Amino acid sequence: MDNILEIRGLVTSFASDGRKDRAIAVNGVDIDVPRGRTVGLVGESGCGKSVTSLSVMGLLSDNGRVEAGSAMFGGQDLLKLPDRELRRLRGDRISMIFQEPMTSLNPVITVGRQVSEALTLHTGVDKRAARARAVEILEKVGIPEASRRYDSYPHQLSGGLRQRVMIGMAMILKPDLLIADEPTTALDVSIEAQILRLMRSLQQESGTSILLITHNLGVVAEMCDTVYVMYAGEVVESAEVHALFNGCAHPYTRGLMASLPRMTPKGKRLYNIPGTVPNLRAMPAGCRFAPRCQFADERCRNEKPPLSPVGEGHFCRCFHPMDAAASLGGDRP
């Protein structure tokens, strides 16, 4: 299958507290995003999902640095492009929906100007034509009275409308690749459903590929074709979405599945994965999930497992991958 984006061996580090050594936040990540498909990148907070996307987009903070790897897009390695060339791609062929629209939108510029800016920068159209196109995309993303809202400031819009503005900004030039970082965070379920339908509709219209970053497995099940599960800076499992939900193999993935809220008998506690994500500066010697895994043995604690096939198109970083019949506590997630 033809891929619009191929990430190979991505390693990203951060310096902090004046220390000479750097903390590795993303360690050897490989991800493929096929053309016209939606790929999910999931995991709990701090696992490296957003850092992966920011590395690809060239938007790391000053203390962040890509140490190794490649991100091939249209025959070009994004990680090696000069800033000027990368800026030409961002907002044009590659767009990003950021996690929190209130902090991503400029508070002193109207939302309409921010949406139309991509047109004036990348296509050179005049302001009148840019405004007309911006109003059109605002209408398409479901913003009522779009011509009036064009002149509104971000604080004058609700969270759902601000998120729609972000989607309009990202999709106005019909990019080849859209990176959506937690696009429905902090939205109520009805608005979340509308946003997801909108993204799917725009994808069908323009053929855009989507890298969807989320911790919401319900969103993954609804939106994604393939899924990558990250833990402590590494991909620990990848598979087609149906294969993952019908038979996830890694204990961490199964823990995420078991943690989903569901109707449980009265008095039965919801499952939670014990322990916490390891410190970036004190990673376990072997499997990074071993300290939290009930199946870990001496080999797991001392030897690093490779990402190995456990089925067709299904890969798992575990010495003891569980098949579809395996369970946590006797209950299938």
Please give the structure tokens belonging to residue 38: 């939606």
If we measure between CA atoms, which residue out of 283, 235, 183 comes closest to residue 42? 235
Please give the structure tokens belonging to residue 310: 């456990």
The answer on 259 and 201 residing in a single domain is no
The answer on 64 and 200 residing in a single domain is yes
Convert the pLDDT of each residue in 105-141 to its tens digit.
Answer: 999 999 999 999 988 888 888 889 999 999 999 998 8
Percent of the chain with pLDDT over 70: 94
Question: Is residue 333 assigned to a domain?
Answer: no
If we measure between CA atoms, which residue out of 299, 327, 280 comes closest to residue 290? 299
The answer on 21 and 83 residing in a single domain is yes
Q: How sure is the predictor about 326, in pLDDT bands with cuts at 50, 70 and 90?
A: very low
Say whether pLDDT at 61 is over 60: yes
Q: Give the end of a domain, one of 191, 207, 224.
A: 224
Question: Is residue 305 assigned to a domain?
Answer: yes
Question: Is residue 293 assigned to a domain?
Answer: yes
pLDDT at 298: 94
Q: How many domains does the chain have?
A: 2
Convert the pLDDT of each residue in 18-54 to its tens digit.
Answer: 777 889 999 999 999 999 999 999 998 889 999 999 9
Instruction: Assign residue 207 the CATH number of its domain.
Output: 3.40.50.300
Mean pLDDT of 85-112: 88
Q: How sure is the predictor about 101, in pLDDT bands with cuts at 50, 70 and 90?
A: confident
> Which range has the worst mean pLDDT, 137-151, 155-169, 178-192?
178-192
Say whether pLDDT at 103 is over 90: no
The answer on 209 and 276 residing in a single domain is no
Say whether pLDDT at 332 is over 70: no
The answer on 152 and 293 residing in a single domain is no
CA atoms in the 13 A half-sphere facing the CB of 123: 17
pLDDT at 323: 47
Structural domain for 16, as ranges: 3-224
The answer on 280 and 212 residing in a single domain is no
Say whether pLDDT at 327 is over 60: no
Please tell me the pTM assigned to this model. Answer: 0.90
The chain-wide mean pLDDT, for the chain, equals 88
Mean pLDDT of 228-247: 95
H helices of the chain, where? 49-57, 83-89, 101-104, 111-122, 127-140, 146-149, 159-171, 189-206, 217-223, 241-247, 251-258, 298-302
Q: How sure is the predictor about 264, in pLDDT bands with cuts at 50, 70 and 90?
A: low
Question: Is residue 73 assigned to a domain?
Answer: yes
